[in-house]
Structure 1
Amino acid sequence: MASRKWSEMTGGQKSGVIAGGLVQLVLAGLAWSDLAHRPAKKVNGPKGVWAAVISINYAGPIAYFIAGRKD
């Protein structure tokens, strides 16, 4: 797929890019906030590693919420 410049995108495409970016930022923010407030004994593995994993696009925060927390 060829990359496009912002000015070449339609309004709907621009909205999609913005919405996707906002979803990613919100997921990461929620995951980092949860990690910061959760005691280390309630996290599966080192908190520093999870902090780095969360920064990986959508997959990181989702992985943290699925596998990183102990309930």
Structure 2
Amino acid sequence: MTSIDWAADGKSLWAAAYTNTNTWALLNIDLKGNIRPMLEDKNMVMGWAIPSPDGRRLAIWKANGTSNVWMVENF
């Protein structure tokens, strides 16, 4: 796991991790431990996921030698 951040509503966590399927994934984990993959990428490392205050957008970090920041909407 490369990072973990609270969701804006406090009901789940955002985590970035390298999975057993050899992909980087952005995961949403509820407080009961249920895991829902949201994004997967075989070529780019994923890092933090920081929600906007209203919970409608997510800023995520991905890199493959150079770093980039992406915004995810409608998740």
TM exceeding 0.5? no
Structure with a larger share of its residues in helix: 1
Structure with a larger share of its residues in strand: 2
Q: Which has the higher contact order (CA 8 A, sep 6+)?
A: 1
TM-score range, shorter chain: under 0.3
Larger Rg belongs to:
1
